[in-house]
């Protein structure tokens, strides 16, 4: 099966993450993820991989044994099974040629991928582009990764004369809910020495730096009263929450920041005059900046509690994941070097970017498996305008093949 057919087949399985079930601790949060996991197990078996495991959590792992007569570090590749909950409809993918005009995704609904909104389309003039009909996500985040990984495995199985070390693969659920699958992944049992996720961006982009990320939940407790006799009695928790938000640093929000600028994201506010809950995300690329932000929120909550009366404000802070950059320094820097060499072997100059988000590699790296992030070739993740140039999909798989062969040659005795 060619890589495009694989990808299209995977998009037909609805694997939308279920936030409610995820919040309840259920993994996988959606049955479609289990369906895809079972299909991948069947494909891995057909390819003749070994040590294939499907866990109750829908985590899938497998091994392509080395055909070398010397030892090299075992490399692993990861993709995630779920797609984001921004859209829940089934995907109807279509392959359209890009001729330079706006791409009509759905004539009946008037949905177009417009070059004025997405000028990077010009880079793919003459290429075929995979899009949806505008009623769903495409799911290249992260099914393009899964297709690339499976295509790479098929290549080595069909070409046994090509030398390679041990290659391991992992497919995990619920990445779109705080890297849940990667966080419970047993790195020690897996047995890889280094790894790559494919969960990023356009062709050539390479990530080995992302957020230090945390969560904040602030509970405001007021006093309810009937408005007819509320004077001096009503203590409105909703207004307390709004005043708290107004005291956050101006301009330090996602809509005002870029590059390596951190932020506070007011993400959810719910309640009534008696009790209101505010949920926030905290993000910063540096450890000191992250700790400073978390300390600021704690101090602000304590000061507001003193101002509005003891028991008025309670805050809970939790770490979500760390910057993967911290895990790819010194002796653990070689996965980045190999990735860059693999890009160049494919005629692709690496474009190193900081990732303003999280990916499974952050959790894996934190647990002892150094893990940069390779491109899938797709654009506009989490949007109905998500699209995947076909040549970029092939390029992603080619990079993986070169990572494997370069690992075999880099660690060859005497080299």
We report the CATH number of the domain holding residue 332 as 3.40.630.10
For the beta sheet containing 60-64, the strands, ordered from the edge strand earlier in sequence to the opposite edge, are 50-54, 60-64, 167-172, 75-80, 194-198, 373-374, 205-207, 351-352
127 lies in the same domain as 245: no
160 lies in the same domain as 245: no
Does residue 80 have a known ligand-binding role? yes
Give the total number of structural domains in the chain: 2
Distance CA 123, CA 100 (A): 10
Which of 320, 345, 372 is where one domain is finished? 320
23 lies in the same domain as 154: yes
139 lies in the same domain as 270: no
Distance CA 404, CA 364 (A): 19
Half-sphere exposure of 268 (CA within 13 A, CB side): 9
Greatest extent of the chain over all pairs of C-alpha atoms, in Å:
87
284 lies in the same domain as 402: no
Strands 75-80 and 194-198: parallel
115 lies in the same domain as 199: yes
Strand runs (DSSP E) across 55-134, as ranges? Answer: 60-64, 75-80, 94-97, 103-106, 111-113, 128-131
Q: Any residues with CB less than 8 A from the CB of 29 and at least 6 apart, and which?
A: 17, 18, 19, 21, 22, 82, 173, 174, 177, 180
CATH number of the domain to which 248 belongs? 3.30.70.360
Strands 50-54 and 60-64: antiparallel
3-state helix, strand, coil in the chain (%, to 5): 35, 25, 40
Report the pLDDT value the prediction gives residue 415, as an integer from 0 to 100.
65
Does residue 141 have a known ligand-binding role? yes
Containing 305, the helix (H) or strand (E) segment is: helix 287-308
Does residue 123 have a known ligand-binding role? no
35 lies in the same domain as 113: yes
What string of pLDDT tens digits covers the 415 residues of the chain? Answer: 999 999 999 999 999 999 999 999 999 999 999 999 999 999 999 999 999 999 999 999 999 999 999 999 999 999 999 999 999 999 999 999 999 999 999 999 999 999 999 999 999 999 999 999 999 999 999 999 999 999 999 999 999 999 999 999 999 999 999 899 999 999 999 999 999 999 989 999 999 999 999 999 999 999 988 888 889 888 999 999 999 999 999 999 999 999 999 999 999 999 999 999 999 999 999 999 999 999 999 999 999 999 999 999 999 999 988 999 989 999 999 999 999 999 999 999 999 999 998 899 999 999 999 999 999 999 999 999 999 999 999 999 999 999 999 999 999 997 6
3 state DSSP class of 130: strand
52 lies in the same domain as 84: yes
The sign of the torsion formed by the CA atoms of 333, 335, 338, 344 equals negative
Distance CA 59, CA 363 (A): 15
Which of 277, 301, 320 is where one domain is finished? 320
Which of 285, 320, 355 is where one domain is finished? 320
184 lies in the same domain as 144: yes
295 lies in the same domain as 357: no
Domain carrying residue 225:
213-320
143 lies in the same domain as 49: yes
Strands 75-80 and 167-172: parallel
Which positions are catalytic? 82, 175
């Amino acid at each position: 099966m060619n890589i495009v057919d694989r990808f299209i087949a995977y998009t037909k399985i609805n694997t939308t993450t279920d936030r409610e079930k995820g919040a309840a601790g259920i993994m996988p949060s959606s049955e479609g993820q289990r369906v895809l996991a079972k299909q991948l197990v069947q494909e891995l078996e057909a390819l003749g991989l070994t040590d294939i495991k499907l866990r109750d959590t829908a985590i899938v792992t497998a091994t392509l044994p080395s055909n070398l007569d010397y030892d090299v570090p075992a490399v692993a590749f990861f993709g995630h099974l779920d797609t984001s909950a921004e859209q829940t409809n089934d995907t109807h993918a279509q392959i359209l040629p890009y001729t330079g005009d706006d791409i009509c995704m759905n004539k009946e609904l008037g949905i177009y991928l417009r070059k004025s909104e997405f000028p990077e389309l010009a880079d793919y003039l003459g290429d075929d582009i995979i899009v949806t009909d505008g009623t769903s996500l495409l799911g290249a985040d992260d099914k393009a990764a899964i297709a690339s990984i499976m295509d790479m495995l098929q290549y080595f199985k069909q070409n046994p004369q090509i030398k390679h070390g041990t290659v391991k693969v992992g497919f995990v659920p619920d990445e779109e809910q705080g890297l849940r699958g990667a966080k419970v992944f047993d790195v020690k049992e897996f047995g890889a020495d280094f790894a790559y996720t494919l969960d990023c961006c356009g062709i050539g982009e390479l990530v080995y730096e992302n957020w230090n990320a945390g969560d904040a939940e602030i509970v405001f407790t007021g006093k309810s009263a009937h408005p007819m006799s509320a004077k001096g009695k009503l203590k409105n928790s909703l207004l307390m929450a709004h005043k708290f938000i107004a005291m956050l640093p101006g301009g330090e929000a996602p809509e005002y920041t870029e590059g390596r600028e951190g932020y506070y994201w007011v993400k959810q506010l719910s309640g009534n005059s008696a009790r209101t809950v505010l949920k926030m995300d905290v993000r910063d690329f540096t450890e000191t900046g992250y700790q400073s932000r978390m300390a600021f929120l704690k101090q602000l909550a304590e000061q507001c509690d003193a101002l509005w009366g003891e028991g008025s404000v309670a805050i809970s802070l939790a770490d979500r994941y760390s910057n993967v950059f911290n895990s790819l320094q010194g002796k653990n820097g070689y996965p980045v070097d190999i990735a860059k060499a693999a890009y160049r072997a494919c005629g692709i100059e690496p474009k190193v970017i900081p990732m303003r988000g999280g990916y499974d590699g952050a959790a894996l790296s934190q647990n002892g498996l150094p893990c940069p992030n390779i491109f899938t070739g797709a654009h506009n993740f989490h949007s109905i305008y998500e699209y995947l140039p076909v040549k970029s999909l092939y390029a992603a798989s080619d990079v993986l093949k070169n990572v494997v062969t370069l690992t075999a040659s880099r660690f060859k005795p005497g080299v």
